[in-house]
Amino acid sequence: MKMKILMTLIMSSFFTFAHAENLKWLDLMLSNYTYPYPVEYITIETQQQELKMAYMLITPDNFNNKTIVLFHGKNFNGAYWKTTIEALAKDGYQVVVPDQIGFGKSSKPDNFQYSFQELAKDTKILLDSLNIQKTAILGHSMGGMVATRFALMYPDVTEKLILENPIGLEDWKLVVPYKTIDWWYQLELKKNYDSIKAYQLDSYYDGKWKPEYDQWVELLAGWTLNSGYTKIAWNAALTYDMIFTQPVVYEFKDIKCPTLLIIGTRDRTALGKPLVSESVRKTMGLYDQLGKLTNQRIPNSTLVEIENIGHLPHIESFDKFITPLKAFLKTIPTDHQ
C-alpha cells in the first residue's frame, strides 16, 4: 500500500511538471487567450487615467427582458462563466460578464486605489452604457464582495442578489496580522504553476482534482511567464489589501433585495491562513457554518447548501448550482424601491 501511494505521488509530480513545462505564455491583457463569447470594451475614466474594461454581452434571440450580471472572483475572470452563460441565455436571460479593472482582459493600472465601491461604480458605468436599468447580480468568491457592495450602492438597479461561495463572510483582519501591500507583492512574485495549483487543490477542491480544473491554473500561471508579470503581481497585491481592509460583512443587514446564497459546504477558503496559528486556522473559512450565519444576517435571503462541494459550485457541480439559480431568477421580484 505504501509503495502504491508513493508511486501515485511520483506520477502526480511528473505530470504536474510536464504540464508546467508546456505552459502557454499569456500577455497582460490576455489577447492571446480566447474567451467563450466575443469581448467588447468600454473606456473608464477614473483616478486621472483612462482604463479599458472588458466585458461579454450575450443577448439571446429569445430575450425575456431580464438581465443578470456575473462577477468573477479574485483568481479568475469572465471566461469561467461559460456554462452558466449558456444555461441562462438558453432560458432567455441577457447576460453581462465584466472583467473588473486589474483582471482578465481589462487594463492593469500602474497605480490604482482599489475599492469595492470603485469596482461597483465601474460596473454601473458599463450598465448605463448598455442602457440596463434593472438587473440581477451574481457574485462568486471576491465577486461576492463586489456584488454586495453594488447591491448596497445601487438598490434601485439590483432586482436580485446571488452570492456563490463569496469570500468576506467573516472579517479576517480580526485574526490575521496586517501585512503591507509590499509584502503581498513579494508573495505574488514567487507564484508559479505548482504553487497556484497546490493552493487551488487545497482551498477550492479539498484535494479532489479533475483534469478540467487545469485551465484555471494555466490562466494564472501563464502570466507568471510574462516579463511584465510584475504589473500583474502589483495589482494582485492591491486587491489583497482591498479584501482585508474593506469588509462587507457588517452591512449584510442593509441589503434590500431578495438574496440567494449558494454555498458549497466543503469550501475552506480564507485569506491569511498561513499567517495564523493552527488553532485559529481551524476556525477560518468554515462555509458549512458561514452559509447559515450569513443567511441569518441578510434579510429576505434563501440558503441553498451543496454538500461535499467546494469553492466553485458552478465548476465542480454545475447541475446543483444552476437548478436553484434558475428557480430563484424565475420568482417574481418584490418591490424594494
Q: Domain limits of the chain?
A: 34-170+251-330
Distance, C-alpha 311 to centroid of its chain: 10
Return the C-alpha cell found at 322: 444552476
- Which residues does 63 contact at the CB level (< 8 Å), separation at least 6? 92, 93, 94
Per-residue pLDDT of the chain (337 residues; tens, 9 = 90+): 334 333 333 444 444 444 566 799 999 999 999 999 999 999 999 999 999 999 999 999 999 999 999 999 999 999 999 999 999 999 999 999 999 999 999 999 999 999 999 999 999 999 999 999 999 999 999 999 999 999 999 999 999 999 999 999 999 999 999 999 999 999 999 999 999 999 999 889 888 899 999 999 999 999 999 999 999 999 999 999 999 999 999 999 999 999 999 999 999 999 999 999 999 999 999 999 999 999 999 999 999 999 999 999 999 999 999 999 999 999 855 443 3
Return the C-alpha cell found at 194: 505548482
Q: Considering the domain 34-170+251-330, what is its CATH architecture?
A: 3-Layer(aba) Sandwich (3.40)
Query: Which residue matches cell numbers 452563460?
Result: 85
Predicted pLDDT of residue 22: 76
CA distance 286 to 168: 12
CA distance 242 to 250: 16
